[in-house]
Amino acid sequence: MTAGGSRGFDARVAHPARVYDYWLGGKDNFEADRIAGEATIAAYPAIRASARANRAFLARSVRYLAAEAGIRQFLDIGTGLPTANNTHEVAQSVAPESRIVYVDNDPLVLSHARALLSSSPEGVTAYLDADLRDTDRILELAADTLDFTQPVAIMLLAILHYIPDLDEALQIVARLVSAVPSGSYLTISHAASDISPEEMAEMIRRMNEHLAEGNHVGRPRDVVARFFADVDLVEPGVVKVTEWRPASAVEAEGPTSLWGGVGRKP
Ligand SMILES: C[S@@+](CC[C@H](N)C(=O)[O-])C[C@H]1O[C@@H](n2cnc3c(N)ncnc32)[C@H](O)[C@@H]1O
């Protein structure tokens, strides 16, 4: 389904999904993305490990939501290119009946959406080609797949830092949270401006030189915490993504440039 997401396909400029794929060691990227990937790695060499840590946070948080919080519906906005442990794979490995709606505005993600639509027979996956800023449209289309009278986990991983206006980003999150019932969850990871601040500032500056929209921003932990204003944070709160319920001490100590957290709507 299309909701005004993709604005046409241009392999000559870097796109967030494809640079992220390059950091993760994927193959779904073009020369412009690889140039941006190398420029950003040169500024902040830990970015590759940080991207992997973000994927590990996604898997741990989805597992927590499905196994411990009993969530069976996921709205994953800013999905990224298919990789290991996509949201539906983790959720449906715990609860095969889980229903997942993926949303992204990158045309290459759309062209790979089939890999995201490999639902278990008991569950459902759907894909929306839409922009996070078209929040009402996303909610309207997602209602074809998700029952908004039942709890939904809203997943906003490594996407809000592409909405540079803080008030706009806060309003988008508030609108999403307002649309889901009590017992729903909000999961966020977000580029930090106060972890390795000098390297991150240079990494983001270089990223913006290469992105078509040049809209990447880091934010400090206290600002990222404001996105959780309408939910109750579950332990351990807003922390480095590596420190959110890590599987091991080694994982907790790994490099990251992202804050992350999970909250429950009361
Ligand atoms: C860094 S990737 C993160 C992928 C995945 N959420 C993860 O954390 O592993 C960011 C994704 O957000 C998407 N994105 C960025 N801005 C967006 C917007 N305004 N609307 C929809 N998707 C957007 C990009 O296309 C990209 O796929």
Read off the pLDDT of residues 66-105 as tens digits, 9 standing for 90 and up. Answer: 999 999 999 999 999 988 899 999 999 999 999 999 999 9
Q: What pLDDT score was predicted for residue 3?
A: 42
Query: Hey, is 215 helix, strand or coil?
Result: coil
CA atoms within 13 A on the CB side of 60: 21
Average pLDDT over residues 137-157: 98
For 92-103, write each residue's pLDDT tens digit.
999 999 999 999
Query: Hey, is 132 helix, strand or coil?
Result: coil
Q: What pTM, to 2 d.p., does this model score?
A: 0.95
Atom of ligand 1 nearest to the CA of 81: 27
pLDDT at 5 over 80: no
Cβ(154) – ligand 1 distance below 6 Å: no
Tell me the two tokens of residue 154: 């809203």
Going by pLDDT thresholds of 50, 70 and 90, the confidence category of residue 9 is low
| Beta strand 153-157 pairing with 124-130 | unpaired
Q: Work out the mean pLDDT of the chain and round it to a whole number.
A: 94
172 contacts: CB under 8 Å, gap ≥ 6: 132, 133, 135, 160, 163
pLDDT at 203 over 90: yes
Which amino acid residue places its CA nearest to atom 4 of ligand 1? 80
Q: What pLDDT score was predicted for residue 7?
A: 55
Ligand 1 pocket test target in 104, 204, 211 with most atoms within 8 Å of CB: 104
Q: What pLDDT score was predicted for residue 2?
A: 42
Average pLDDT over residues 214-236: 96
